[in-house]
Amino acid sequence: MTLAWLTHPVSAVAVLVLLVNDHLLKAAAPGVVTGKLSDVAGLVFAPALVAALCCLLVPRLPARWAAAGSTVLVGVAFAAVKAVPGGADVASAAWSVIRPSTILADPTDLLALPALGIAWWVRGRTLTPVVSTPVARGVRAAVVLPFAVLGVAATSAPDYPAVDRVVVVDGQVRAMLYNAFHGLPDGDSDLDDAAATVDGVTWTALKAPVTPDLPPRATNACVPDRPDVCYRVVPGRLAVEESTDAGRTWRMSWQVAEGRRTFLARRDSDLRSPREHLSAAEVAILPADGGYRVFVANRRDGIAVRQPDGAWQRIGLSYAGKTWPPAPLTAPGKHIWAEYALAVAIGSALYVLGLLPALSRRRVLAGFAAGTTVLGAIVVALAQLVDSFLGLGFTLIGMGVGVAGLVWWIATVAGDPRPRPWLWPTQAALAAAAAAGVIATFYGWSAGHPDAYSTAAGIAGAVTGAAVAGTVVLVLFGRGPAARPEPEYEWTTSGG
């Protein structure tokens, strides 16, 4: 019964509506309608999915108890997430295990709770016997179940707060913000949040638009009582230059190194262009006791502030009443999953392809098996560059292809008499060392040593080249005598 409930046309339509709304409509037309539509669709099919999972995990559980319990559980959980303080944070953390997600608490979403009545009505409709073959039920389940699970994980697009403007108004610096998930703002009318500060530490949330007519964007500004001291943003970079001769000459005052900006871009898988989203956009100067403060809008990286003593610091930003600290410029071992997978691909290729010249038989078949192994490893590496479920799916496919190819390769070359016995483990050790060298290089880059990604890539390339040279030497010295050909017999007949 629970499977019939989940695969009912109404439930299937609810799944489709949720997927389309969360992945397309919310980004194209954010607002009240698209926001509430997901809540209604989710409440229509979620009880059926929970009931089906309960019956799957506990086969002897009566279907009627599973249906009633799942409906109550979904309603209580929904109310807790939307209305209880902290409930949305817990739900966001749980969903982020599957994909980066932000679930917002909004008591007005409780208006969608009557959709549970639709779910219960659909459950009642499935109590009527329907003529259906086992094959038809299986096909319906195979089609609907994956989309149902995907639909549960389809949550609101995450907030990516970014500062596009900093403006001095009434003795305060007002930071104008937007959700970068929707791209760069198309003019000041797209700025949807704001906060004011005088020191970069204490923030006051404001309603946007704060100022109906904002002044033109200022990419350079001078100290009010010292017009010879000026600051300007460096286009396309997280950097600010300073002049002490009214703009005749400039020197670098503050910057985030390009290697660290590349690392910052790794934290956000949807970041389209670091030059646009991780760059200084506007500068503002506010007089302060003992000197002045310089505020720089750095979009996704928040705000940078020069204090009166001349020290610069990245302070993050304040968005939707919350303070977002600046992302670290180093995080050893993080945001380099593609490089990890690349190292495995390199090690796999060196092992399975490097031994081919030493084989004496089934070389062509072994080559196909080796190619399959390498193809799977490359798919896994490339899948790390793809966000969300598509990347996860290609990762699983690549792992399956790679393992199957490796098993095929081992079965093909096992017992080949030509390579010397020590060649197999030695080549495996060399391939593992090459993979470890590549991993260590990019691990160091994530920790800031070296800073430039191109330098790390060059070192990794040199490690790979040395391993290739070592493989050639091993194959040359690891070949045994050519396998003796099998004797050929000629059958003849003679007259009796």
79 shares a domain with 49: yes
- Residue 202 DSSP SS3: coil
> 33 lies in a domain?
yes
Considering the domain architecture, whether residues 139 and 167 belong to the same structural domain is answered as no
Q: How many domains does the chain have?
A: 3
Question: CA-to-CA distance for 181 and 268, rounded, in angstroms?
Answer: 10
Task: Confirm whether 99 is domain-assigned.
Answer: yes
Per-residue pLDDT tens, the chain, 496 aa: give them: 566 777 777 877 887 787 777 666 765 666 677 777 878 888 888 888 888 778 767 767 787 888 888 888 888 888 877 776 566 666 655 555 445 555 666 677 778 888 888 888 888 877 655 445 555 555 555 555 555 555 555 555 556 788 888 999 888 898 888 877 667 777 766 677 788 888 878 888 876 555 557 788 999 999 998 999 999 999 999 999 999 999 999 999 999 999 999 898 887 655 667 788 899 999 999 998 889 999 999 998 999 999 999 999 999 887 766 777 888 999 998 888 888 888 988 998 888 888 888 777 777 888 888 888 888 888 888 877 665 556 666 777 888 888 888 888 888 887 777 777 788 888 889 999 999 999 999 999 999 999 999 999 999 999 999 999 998 888 887 766 544 444 544 555 555 4
* Tokens 């001291």 -> residue: 229
Residue 115 lies in a domain: yes
Domain that residue 441 falls in = 337-478
Residues 351 and 430 in one domain: yes
Domain end call among 265, 298, 324: 324
Both 202 and 304 in one domain: the answer is yes
Q: What is the DSSP string of 393-458?
A: HHHHHHHHHHHHHHHHHHHHHTT-SSB-TTHHHHHHHHHHHHHHHHHHHHHHHHTTSSS-HHHHHH
Residues 351 and 427 in one domain: yes
The verdict on 371 and 451 lying in the same domain is yes
* Tokens, residue 430: 């060399």
Establish if 495 belongs to a structural domain: no
Residues 132 and 265 in one domain: no
Q: Quick one: 137 and 24 in the same domain?
A: yes
Are residues 275 and 424 both part of a single domain? no
Task: Classify 302 as helix, strand or coil.
Answer: coil
**Does residue 281 contact residue 233 with C-beta atoms inside 8 Å?**
yes
Report if residue 421 sits inside a domain.
yes
Looking at 298, 324, 350, the residue that finishes a domain is: 324
